[in-house]
Amino acid sequence: PPGSGKGTQAKLLAKSLNILHLSTGDILREKLNDGDALSFKLKKIMSSGNLVSDEFLNQIIANKLMSEECRNGYILDGYPRTISQSDFLLSFFKSNNLNLDIIFNFKIDFKLVEERIINRSKQEQRSDDNLDVIKTRLDKYILETYPVSQFFSNNFSQNFFTIDASQEVYKIQKEL
């Protein structure tokens, strides 16, 4: 879920494994600085707490995964976020002979998410971090992303690990 600390942990883990941290949220936020028509469209979607289109995200991921920087491995952070994205990713893996090693499912109480996001909004100035959009982001999670975690839990149970994301950063880090 948003505000579960997945970005913080993905960054730390990627660093300690010396592999790429591939955050779709970070990639999209970078595009916001371009000042072109696309960036305005993205800003509108993201700052309202909605999801960017599957086609756009799938294209970004396909390009990244084929690139040199992904050669030694990567951590996908924030993708796949919809069933359509996970279908795309799995067929991409299949046709490129790639394997999914580990899936971490960050579990957290939504009340705690709200508190965290409000705190983060004060520190980071993310336009999608305010009370008005938290509800939309959590609704999107329940509608679009929770089914993805259910799918992987059912179909990749051997690779699927649920983490109690309410714990302190260092404890989660140790667990991962």
Instruction: Assess contact for 3 and 116: CB atoms under 8 A.
Output: yes
Closest CB to ligand AMP: residue number = 25
Looking at the Cβ atoms of 43 and 176, the one nearer to ligand AMP is: 43
State the minimum distance, in angstroms, from the CB of residue 77 to ligand AMP.
7
State the minimum distance, in angstroms, from the CB of residue 172 to ligand AMP.
17
Q: Which residues bind ligand AMP (CB under 6 A)?
A: 2, 7, 24-25, 28, 45-46, 50-52, 57, 78-79, 81, 85, 128, 137
Nearest Cα residue to 1 out of 112, 89, 151, 101? 112
CB atoms within 10 A of CB 119: 12
State the minimum distance, in angstroms, from the CB of residue 121 to ligand AMP.
13
Looking at the Cβ atoms of 123 and 158, the one nearer to ligand AMP is: 123
Nearest Cα residue to 145 out of 59, 78, 76? 78
What is the rounded distance in angstroms from the CA atom of residue 76 to the CA atom of residue 82? 14
Q: Phi and psi at residue 108, in whole multiples of 5°?
A: -155, 150
Looking at the Cβ atoms of 2 and 165, the one nearer to ligand AMP is: 2
